Every structure is written in structure tokens, then in C-alpha cells.
Amino acid sequence: MARLSLTHFLIRCERTSGMDANLRLLLETVARAVKTISHAVGHGALGGVLGSAQTSNVQGETQKKLDIIANQMLIEANEWGGTLAAMASEEMDQPVGIPVAYPRGDYLLLFDPLDGSSNIDVNVSIGTIFSVLRAHDPKAEEAAFLQPGTSQVAAGYAVYGPQTQFVITVGQGVHEFTLDKDTGSFLLTRENLRIPAQTQEFAINMSNMRHWEAPVRRYIDECLAGADGPRGKDFNMRWVASMVSDVHRIMQRGGIFLYPRDRREPGKPGKLRLMYEANPMALLIEQAGGAASNGTQRILDIQPTSLHQRVAVVLGSREEVEYVARLSA
């Protein structure tokens, strides 16, 4: 039997769950942008897209050429379709509105255009992460975006690896599409992904160990003690350093991912961004039966106070995330 295309799948969602047609158009447009980004990523050095752009983003991080190219591709694909009131990106200081020449819709799109920037130049998997909110405020300025993750109407990511995949939720499970590079279509390859509740695989940047707070240190010490320690089982470690890839692995076979706050900069609660990384991934993880917290609080319940705010992230297999929360209590 032929595989379902993304469009066909979304039309089925419209018919069976009353999903808004404009949300379908928006997701199809994001998917179109993702194909363009995938194409650019695939050209690598031959396309002149690698290396530093010699600029910094609002968080003071040096931007790669592909950070800027992917950001621009997402804006250009989405600004004219009539589904959006505004967009916000990890790579832009302020939200961007819809030019007056184009129709406006009532959704807000947030994205990390190119996640895993440190892996761009070394041909390791990278991705795009996005989140969709409703625009309740017609002005659609920064305040309109400051909604908790529970308000997301859709979220997803693309992974640019050996295959380009597009993984989405519209609040009813998580579904994976793989780009057929011969026809240019995203085809459904897994429906209703489920994350095992238990795991023996963790992902964390171990080089930060000396900066961690006591509960995370204890958790990892227990994992490292393996079968001889309190957990009574051996753990494996994986760290791609592209959140999309680490989350995608957890989506396939379970695991736990941690990017905790640490003591280096007490005012900075972790590295990852709530609005562009943690919230969309938390929705996807929960929709697949996993859990996502900042160590003590469910990520999706956090009331954001600023667009670029950072947050500690512990997500993945439900029982493991709950175990970390018990150590942190």
C-alpha cells in the first residue's frame, strides 16, 4: 500500500479531529521551508553554506551562515500565506510581523531555525524546531508570544541526518514523516510514536559535571555506578550535541536527556531556550508518553516572562524523568 503523504495525513486530521484548515496550511508551509533547508544543508561546502557568519544573535552566540540562511528560509516561506500574525526566532531579537502587503492570520510561529549549530560544519545531524500558538492579541508583539507550553496547538522538528525527517504533533500523538528525495514528498513512516517508560540510556554534556547542582550530580553518579550501584542496572551514554538528534533517538528507543542549570552563571537557568526548544520538545515528548521537566516543574506549565528566556531541561522516558524530580525535591 502507498504511504500517506503529509498533506493527505493532515487532511485526514482535519476530517477526523476537526483540525483547522489554516493550521494544515501552516504545517505544510513549515514542511516546505524544511525541504529548502534540507537542500541547503545537503550541499554543505559545495553550496558555500558552511562556516561562521561573523555575526552574533541576541544571546551573544556567534551565528553560523546556516543559522541565518535557515532563519531567512522559514520567514520567506511563511510570511505570505495568510495563516500567521507574527513569527519569533532564536536568531532574531524581536518578533517579525507580517508585511502589510500580505494577508494576516491568527497563528504565531516560533522556531529555532538550525538547532545544533556546533555540528553544522562537521557533517553531524542538525535540525529545525518549531512551535505554534494562537495569537490572542491582534498586535502580536512580544507579549502575545508569552503563553505557557500547554497553549501550543502544534509543535515539531525536522532532523537533517542520513534521512531528512519531519516529526509533528497537533495534540493527538506524534507522527514521523521521511522526505522522499526522489519526489520531494514527506511520507508517513511512523504513526503514534511511543517512548518506553523506562530506560538505561542517558544524554548529558559530561564536561559540565563540576558545575552541576547536587541532584543532577547524584543522578549521574548513580547511572555511572551501573549494576553495582543503587539503580542496579548498567547505563549507556549518548550525546550528539544537537538536541533534535538526541530527542529523536529518545523518540525511537527511549532515554533521558538533561541540560541542567549549573553554577557557572547562577542567573542563567540552563542553556536551552524555553520558547524555541524546550516547549515544542516537551509537547512532543509528552504526546509520545514521556515526561519533560526543568528538574522540579513540568516544562509546559512554566509561564514565560520573556521571549528568549532559558530553562533547565530534563526530558524523555517518564519513569526516569520522575526519578530525577524525586532526587531534586
Which of 95, 116, 280, 295 binds ligand AHM (CB under 6 A)? It is 116
Residue closer to Mg ion (CB basis): 144 or 272: 272
Residue closer to ligand AHM (CB basis): 62 or 172: 62
Residue closer to ligand AHM (CB basis): 83 or 242: 242
The nearest distance, CB 120 to ligand AHM, in angstroms, is 9
Rounded Cα gap, residues 196 and 51, in angstroms = 38
When asked if residue 71 is in the footprint of ligand AHM (CB under 6 A), the reply is no
**First CA to last CA distance, the chain:** 50
**Count of residues in contact with ligand AHM, rule CB under 6 A:** 12
Could you give the angle at the alpha carbon of 119 between the alpha carbons of 117 and 120, nearest 5°?
Answer: 70
Residue nearest to Mg ion (CB): 115
Which of 20, 67, 79, 115 binds Mg ion (CB under 5 A)? It is 115
Rounded Cα gap, residues 216 and 214, in angstroms = 6
What are the CA-CA distances from residue 97 to residues 58, 68, 128, 215, 263 (Å)? 18, 18, 21, 42, 37
**By rule CB under 6 A, what string of x and - marks binding of each residue 45-64 to ligand AHM?**
----------------x---
3-class DSSP state for residue 186?
strand
The x, y and z cell numbers of residue 173, run together, are 500523538
Q: Give 289's DSSP letter.
A: T
What are the CA-CA distances from residue 18 to residues 11, 12, 105, 154, 171 (Å)? 10, 9, 18, 14, 12
**By rule CB under 6 A, what string of x and - marks binding of each residue 240-279 to ligand AHM?**
-xxx---------------x-----------x--------
When asked if residue 131 is in the footprint of ligand AHM (CB under 6 A), the reply is no
When asked if residue 294 is in the footprint of ligand AHM (CB under 6 A), the reply is no
The binding site for Mg ion (CB under 5 A) comprises: 112, 115
The binding site for ligand AHM (CB under 6 A) comprises: 61, 112, 115-118, 205, 241-243, 259, 271
